[in-house]
Amino acid sequence: MEVGKSYPHACLAAKSLAKIKQRITQLTARERTPIPLEDIV
């Protein structure tokens, strides 16, 4: 089921892309990882 059509050559704005990247960095930060750093390395 297709809801909408995609736009050709549509890109996110630089500010919204930066916000998304910052959020991903926060969610995947070292302090949120349950495995100790010594076990990873």
Q: What is the pLDDT of residues 1-41, one digit of tens each?
A: 567 777 777 888 899 999 999 988 887 787 777 777 677 66
Structure tokens at 41: 């390395």
pLDDT in the model for residue 6: 74
Distance CA 23, CA 9 (A): 24
pLDDT in the model for residue 37: 67
pTM for the full predicted model: 0.53
